Amino acid sequence: MVCEHGRCAGVFETLPPKYASLPVEDFWDKLIIPGLVDLHTHAPQFAFRGTGGDLELLDWLNACAFPEEKAYGDLDYAERAYDCFVEDLYIGATTRACVFGTKHRKATAGLMEMLDETGLVTFVGKVNMDRNVPEDYVETTEESVAETKKWLGHVRRMNLKHTSPIITPRFTPSCSRPLMEELGRIAEKLDLSVQSHLSENQDEIEWVKKLEPDCRCYAETYDRAGLLRKGRTVMAHCVWSDEEELALLKNRGVVIAHCPGSNINVRSGAAPVSKYLDMGLKVGLGSDVAGGPSSSMFAAMRDAVTVSKLRWRLTDQSVRPLTFPEVFYMATMGGGAFFGKVGAFLEGYEFDAVVLDDENLQTIRAFSPAERAERLMYLMDDRNVTGKYVQGRKLY
């Protein structure tokens, strides 16, 4: 496999003579896979991952997420907590990620600087919310817009190489229409991508219907504000999206971040993801820490397969279970499409690669490379990651 100027030049059985002078690294008997993409995670929630699993989404937000995120107004606390998150992301198999910060622009800018230093490629957003959030954490509409503009100005001056800002309305219940519309104008003016949540929980969907009764579906609340940008918006979950909503998402080229670990943990449900793939929707995977207890994208792949089997058996046999090749695609090319030509070793794709050593998974059997990769989905941990490249740069 040849990397030239940060991109894959091809995969060859015999090295072409024109590449003979290039330095060679030999990872004999290890697996080399495209870097994995986490389309949806919350950096400030990393500190309490693995707790709060007895609560549904809306109760979980009030009991766990909002109190923790409020603490990031303290920059010392934010730095220490984000250091843990960044280290975890660095040592795992993830090479690119879409990340939520908090409402605090200084802490979010600090997170971006820390991520940029790792060499990982990330989108990071200052979270916006002006309603239905505890009084000690909510913003006014004017504050949210002003702080977002200040944050974006500060980020431009930072001259980050690998980390970019992304417009981040938390979700419709916490964002008024005037705020959403202003964020849409900012995204359009500065040509920025957008991330948020959509149709995760049934109580949430009913709440949106009451808050925005003139919208035919949840996704329309974003679309009216100009936040479903063609190919530039990622929406997490879409567990309960109906046909009208799915048609709108497809038309706008929205990328769905399927977060099965979180959907299990906060009891949201099981999305019919194979249906979305068959419809031609863009679908990737997200860890959704701390709704999801693990930042591992292999865990996200495993959970996606498991949840789809249970959904098929217990709920709806018209929607087939996911296969390992499908979830591997979602974790690589599926999510990678949000970043451009990313997630494969095809000619012209950005060279993101992870080297995996499965020697510790003892067996007397001989396995094909595909079978070894599938075993790692179920059995691996960070110790199995022994090398990492992003855009052709060797991180370790």
Q: Are 179 and 145 in contact (CB under 8 A)?
A: yes
Instruction: Give tens-digit pLDDT for 139-168.
Output: 999 999 999 999 999 999 999 999 999 999
Domain assignment present for residue 4? The answer is: no
Instruction: Give pLDDT, residue 381.
Output: 87
Q: Are 219 and 198 in contact (CB under 8 A)?
A: yes
Domain assignment present for residue 69? The answer is: yes
How many Cβ atoms from other residues are within 10 Å of residue 99's Cβ? 27
Q: What is the mean pLDDT of residues 341-347?
A: 98
Q: What is the mean pLDDT of residues 253-280?
A: 97
Q: Report the distance separating Cα 92 and Cα 194, nearest Å.
A: 25
pLDDT for 318 beyond 90 = yes
Tell me the C-alpha to C-alpha distance, in Å, between residue 394 and each of 25, 386, 389: 11, 11, 4
Tell me which residue range forms the domain holding 240: 34-339
Residue 44 pLDDT class (50, 70, 90 cuts):
very high
Phi and psi at 198, nearest 5°, equal: -150, 130
Domain assignment present for residue 22? The answer is: no
Tell me the DSSP string of 128-191: E--SSS-TTT---HHHHHHHHHHHHHHHHHHT-SSEEE-BEE--GGGS-HHHHHHHHHHHHHHT
pLDDT for 271 beyond 90 = yes
pLDDT for 229 beyond 90 = yes
Instruction: Give tens-digit pLDDT for 286-310.
Output: 999 999 999 999 999 999 999 999 9
Domain assignment present for residue 193? The answer is: yes
Q: Are 246 and 276 in contact (CB under 8 A)?
A: yes
| Torsion sign, CA atoms 238, 293, 44, 287 | negative
Domain assignment present for residue 112? The answer is: yes
Q: What is the mean pLDDT of residues 34-48?
A: 98
Domain assignment present for residue 369? The answer is: no
Residue 114 pLDDT class (50, 70, 90 cuts):
very high
Give the count of domains, the chain: 1
Q: Which two tokens stand for residue 171?
A: 């979700």
Choose among 229, 110, 113, 131: nearest CA to 176. Answer: 131
Instruction: Give tens-digit pLDDT for 47-104.
Output: 999 999 899 999 999 999 999 999 999 999 999 999 999 999 999 999 999 999 999 9
Residues in the chain: 396
Q: Is the pTM of this model over 0.85?
A: yes
Residue 228: half-sphere exposure toward Cβ, Cα within 13 Å: 23
Return the percentage of the chain with pLDDT > 90, whole number: 99
CATH number of the domain bearing residue 195: 3.20.20.140
pLDDT for 171 beyond 90 = yes
Choose among 331, 325, 267: nearest CA to 299. Answer: 331
Instruction: Give tens-digit pLDDT for 177-210.
Output: 999 999 999 999 999 999 999 999 999 999 999 9
Give the ranges where the chain is alpha helix by DSSP (H): 57-60, 66-70, 75-91, 105-118, 141-158, 177-190, 202-211, 218-223, 243-252, 260-265, 273-278, 297-314, 324-329, 335-336, 369-379
Domain assignment present for residue 381? The answer is: no
Q: Report the distance separating Cα 240 and Cα 218, nearest Å.
A: 10
Q: Are 290 and 259 in contact (CB under 8 A)?
A: no
Phi and psi at 167, nearest 5°, equal: -70, 130
Instruction: Give pLDDT, residue 382.
Output: 84
Domain assignment present for residue 350? The answer is: no
Q: Which two tokens stand for residue 36?
A: 């994995």
